C-alpha cells in the first residue's frame, strides 16, 4: 500500500480569509494526499511545530496579507533550525512577481500565483517531495 | 533523514518521535527494530480515548481537557484520527484547527492520522503511535476518533479510560449508539449543554446505564460546554475517579493484558494473511478453488482443509 503524501496547509498572517487555503486543501485531498489543515492566523513557529509533529513531506503556505517577504522565509529558516530542511516549502497567494526571485533564494521552492490550476501545484508537489 | 532515532526519542526529541510514527505507519522494518529496542522504556503513559459522533465537539473538548491537565504539569500527546476518502485515499485532517493554542506549548505533541490506508488497519497504526509517544515521555496520551465503524471502535477499546462524547438532539441516533458502543464509555460527556435538550439527553444516558446494574464501575455522566470551558474540571474529576478505580481494582492491568493479547492475535493474523497472499502460487490456487466453490464443484470447507496443509508450509513469519 502506497503511503499518501502528507501536506501541511497553513495560512500565516493576520488576514481572515482562508478560501484559497481551503480550495488547495480540497484539491490535494482529491489527489489522494493527506492534508493537515491548521486554520487561520498561524505564526511561523506554530506552522513549524505542526510540520515537525506531523512529519509532513510538504508545507504549503497560503498568504494574502502582504507579509510574505518576512513570513515565508521565517518558516524555512525555523525548519532549518530544527534540522527539517528536507521538507518542501511552497507558497501561494497574491505575491507580486518581483518578490518571487527573493523568496526562491530564501528556500521557498515554488510560488503559485492566483489563477494557477490546482493540477500544477499537485504535480509540483508530487515531483519535488523528498522521499 | 532523521538519524539516531532510538537515542533521540528517549531524550524527548519531537522530530525523532514524529519520524518513528511515520515509519511504523509505513510498516518499515527499521521502525519495528527501533521500537523493539526501546519498548521496555514505555508503559508510563495513561491513555484516554475520546469518541462520539462527528461534530460532537471532541476536538474542542480535547483542547480544553489538555489545558486542564497542562495546569497539573502533565506532558501530553494527542493522536487525532479523521476519516479518509474511500475514493481517493486522501483526507483533510482538521482537528488541529480546534487546538491551535496547544501548538506552541512545547509539552504538547499532536499527531493527525487518516483513518484508512493503513496495512493492518487504523487501530494498529494508532496503537504503534501510542507506544512511541509513551516512550517519548508523555504522561497522558489522548486519542480522538469518531465513534462509528468497527475499526474506530477498536481504537478506543485499547484505552485506559474512554470518554464518550454525546450531544443533545441525537434522537434515534442514541439508540444506534447504544447498540454499538455504549459499553465502551467509562465516562460520558454531554457536550453542547448550552443547547436545548441536553438535560434530557443526559437522563436518557443515565437510564441506559442503569439497565446494566452488574457493572463494577458505573460510568458517570457529565454536562459540558467545551467552547466555554464549562464543566471541564468536573469532567477531569470523573476521569481521575475512573483512573483511580482502574488502578485500585486491578482492572487497569487486566485490561492492558487483554489488549496485549488481542494485539498479538491480530498481528499474527495479519502476518499469516500477508504471507499467504504474498505467495503467487497460493493466490492462483485460491482463485481456482474459489471458482469451483461458486460452480459447486467444491465447498469452502473442503477447500480450507485441502489448502491448510499445503499453505501451512509457505507461511514464513519474518
Ligand atoms: N454550541 C456549542 N458548540 C460547540 C461546543 N463544543 C464544540 N462546539 C462546536 O461544534 C463544532 C464541531 O466541533 P469539533 O470539536 O470539531 O467536533 P468533533 O468533530 O467531534 O471533533 C464546532 O463548530 C465547535 O465550535 C459546545 O459546547 N457548544
Ligand atoms: Mg475532531
Which of B80, B173, B227 is the best mutation target for the ligand 1 pocket, counting ligand atoms within 8 Å of the beta carbon and taking the most?
B227
Q: Which of B15, B96, B109 sits opposite A38 (nearest CB)?
A: B96
| pLDDT for the residue numbered B214 | 72
Q: Is residue B306 part of a domain?
A: yes
The answer to whether A23 contacts chain B (CB < 8 Å) is no
| Residue range A52-71: mean pLDDT, rounded | 89
pLDDT at B120: 65
Interval between CA B35 and ligand 1 midpoint (Å): 36
Tell me the three state secondary structure of residue A47.
Answer: helix
Interchain contact, A36 vs B104, CB within 8 Å: no
Cell of A108: 521557498
pLDDT at res. B266: 86
State mean pLDDT over A28-55.
Answer: 93
Same domain assignment for residues B36 and B177: no
The reply to whether ligand 1 has any atom less than 6 angstroms from the CB of B225 is yes
Residue with the larger pLDDT of the pair B225 and A68: B225
Task: Confirm whether B255 is domain-assigned.
Answer: no
Same domain, B131 and B237: yes
Task: Give the per-residue pLDDT at B245.
Answer: 97
Kindly identify the ligand whose nearest atom is closest to the C-alpha of B63: 1
- Is B317 part of any domain? no
The CA-based dihedral angle spanning residues B239, B244, B245, B246, taken in that order and rounded to the nearest 10 degrees: 90
Is B203 in the same domain as B307? no
| Predicted model pTM | 0.92
Taking CB atoms and an 8 Å cutoff, what residues of chain A touch B92?
A: 25-26, 29, 35, 37
- Output the nine-digit C-alpha cell for B86: 474511500
The total of structural domains in chain B comes to 3
Alpha-carbon distance B84 to B100, whole Å?
22
First to last CA, chain B: 26
**Which residues in chain B come in under a pLDDT of 50?**
318
What nine digits make up the cell of B302? 473442503
Query: What domain range is B304 assigned to?
Result: 261-312
Q: Which residue has the higher pLDDT, B29 or A69?
A: B29
Do B155 and B53 share a structural domain? yes
B3 and B94, same domain (yes or no): no
- Cβ burial A82-113 (10 Å sphere, 16+ → b, else e): eebeebbbbbbbebeeeebeebeeeebebbbe
Interface test with B, best of A23, A24, A37 (most B CBs within 10 A): A37
Model pLDDT, residue B171:
63
| Domain presence at residue B293 | yes
- Residues B147, B101, single domain; the answer is yes
Q: For position A19, what pLDDT does the model report?
A: 79
Residue B96 is nearest to which of A3, A4, A36, comparing CB atoms? Answer: A36
CB atoms within 10 A of CB B116: 17
Same domain for B121 and B243?
A: yes
Distance (Å) from CA B58 to ligand 2 centroid: 5
Radius of gyration of chain B (CA): 22
Contact indicator for B131, B35 with CB cutoff of 8 Å: yes
Q: Would residue B318 count as lying in a domain?
A: no
For residue B53, being part of any structural domain is answered with: yes
B76 neighbors B45 (Cβ within 8 angstroms): no
- Is pLDDT larger for residue B88 or for residue A104? A104
pLDDT higher than threshold 90 for residue A41: no
- Identify whether residues B100 and B212 lie together within a single domain: yes
**Pair B26, B77 in one domain:** no
Contacts of A36 in chain B (CB under 8 A): 93, 96, 112
Q: How far is the CA of B194 from the centre of ligand 1 (A)?
A: 11
pLDDT, position B195: 93
Whole-number pLDDT of residue B83? 78
For B104, the closest of A30, A39, A45 (CB atoms) is: A45
pLDDT for residue A66: 76
> Per the domain annotation, does B294 fall within a domain?
yes
Instruction: Please tell me if the CB atom of residue B54 comes closer than 6 angstroms to any atom of ligand 1.
Output: yes
Q: Which of B249, B270, B302 is the last residue of a domain?
A: B249
Q: Does residue B229 form part of some domain?
A: yes
Output the domain CATH number for residue B92. Answer: 3.40.50.300
Same domain (yes/no): B73, B181: yes
Alpha carbon of residue A100 to chain centroid: 15
Ligand nearest to the CA of B223: 1
Judged against a pLDDT cut of 90, whether residue A70 lies above it is answered with no
Judge if B50 and B31 occupy the same domain: no
* CATH of A6-128 among 3.40.190.10, 3.40.50.280, 3.90.1150.10, 2.60.40.1730: 3.40.50.280
The alpha carbons of chain A give a radius of gyration, in whole angstroms, of 13
Amino acid at each position: 500500500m502506497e503511503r499518501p503524501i502528507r501536506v501541511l496547509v497553513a495560512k500565516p498572517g493576520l488576514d481572515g480569509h482562508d478560501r484559497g487555503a481551503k480550495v488547495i486543501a480540497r484539491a490535494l485531498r482529491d489527489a489522494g494526499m493527506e492534508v493537515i489543515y491548521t486554520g487561520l492566523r498561524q505564526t511561523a513557529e506554530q506552522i513549524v511545530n505542526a510540520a515537525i509533529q506531523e512529519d509532513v513531506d510538504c508545507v504549503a503556505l497560503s498568504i494574502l496579507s502582504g507579509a510574505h517577504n518576512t513570513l515565508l522565509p521565517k518558516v524555512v529558516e525555523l525548519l532549518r533550525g530544527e534540522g527539517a530542511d528536507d521538507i518542501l516549502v511552497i507558497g501561494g497567494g497574491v505575491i507580486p512577481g518581483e518578490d518571487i526571485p527573493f523568496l526562491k533564494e530564501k528556500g521557498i521552492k515554488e510560488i503559485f500565483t492566483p489563477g494557477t490550476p490546482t493540477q500544477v501545484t499537485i504535480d509540483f508537489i508530487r515531483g519535488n517531495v523528498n522521499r | 533523514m532523521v538519524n539516531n532515532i532510538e537515542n533521540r526519542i528517549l531524550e524527548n526529541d519531537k522530530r525523532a518521535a514524529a519520524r518513528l510514527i511515520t515509519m511504523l505507519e509505513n510498516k518499515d522494518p527499521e521502525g519495528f527494530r527501533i521500537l523493539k529496542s526501546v519498548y521496555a522504556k514505555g508503559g508510563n503513559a495513561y491513555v484516554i480515548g475520546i469518541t462520539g459522533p462527528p461534530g460532537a465537539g471532541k476536538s474542542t473538548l480535547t483542547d480544553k481537557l489538555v489545558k486542564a491537565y497542562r495546569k497539573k504539569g502533565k506532558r501530553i500527546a494527542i493522536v487525532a484520527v479523521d476519516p479518509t476518502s474511500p475514493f481517493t485515499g486522501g483526507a483533510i485532517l482538521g482537528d488541529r484547527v480546534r487546538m491551535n493554542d496547544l501548538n506552541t506549548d512545547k509539552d504538547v505533541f499532536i499527531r493527525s492520522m487518516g483513518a484508512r490506508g493503513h496495512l493492518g488497519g487504523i487501530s494498529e497504526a494508532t496503537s504503534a503511535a501510542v507506544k512511541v509517544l509513551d516512550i517519548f515521555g508523555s504522561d497522558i496520551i489522548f486519542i480522538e476518533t469518531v465513534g462509528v465503524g468497527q475499526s474506530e471502535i477498536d481504537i478506543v477499546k485499547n484505552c485506559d479510560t474512554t470518554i464518550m462524547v454525546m450531544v443533545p438532539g441525537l434522537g434515534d441516533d442514541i439508540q444506534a449508539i447504544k447498540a454499538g458502543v455504549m459499553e465502551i464509555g467509562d465516562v460520558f460527556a454531554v457536550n453542547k449543554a448550552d443547547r436545548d435538550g441536553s438535560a434530557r439527553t443526559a437522563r436518557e444516558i443515565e437510564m441506559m446505564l442503569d439497565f446494566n446494574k452488574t457493572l463494577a464501575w458505573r460510568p458517570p455522566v457529565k454536562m459540558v460546554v467545551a467552547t466555554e470551558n464549562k464543566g471541564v474540571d468536573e469532567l477531569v474529576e470523573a476521569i481521575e475517579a475512573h483512573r483511580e478505580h482502574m488502578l485500585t481494582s486491578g482492572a487497569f492491568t487486566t485490561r492492558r493484558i487483554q489488549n496485549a493479547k488481542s494485539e498479538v492475535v491480530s498481528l499474527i493474523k495479519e502476518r499469516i494473511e500477508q504471507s499467504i497472499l504474498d505467495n503467487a502460487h497460493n493466490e492462483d490456487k485460491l482463485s481456482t478453488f474459489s471458482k469451483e466453490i461458486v460452480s459447486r464443484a467444491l465447498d469452502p470447507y473442503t477447500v480450507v482443509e485441502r489448502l491448510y496443509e499445503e499453505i501451512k508450509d509457505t507461511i514464513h513469519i519474518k
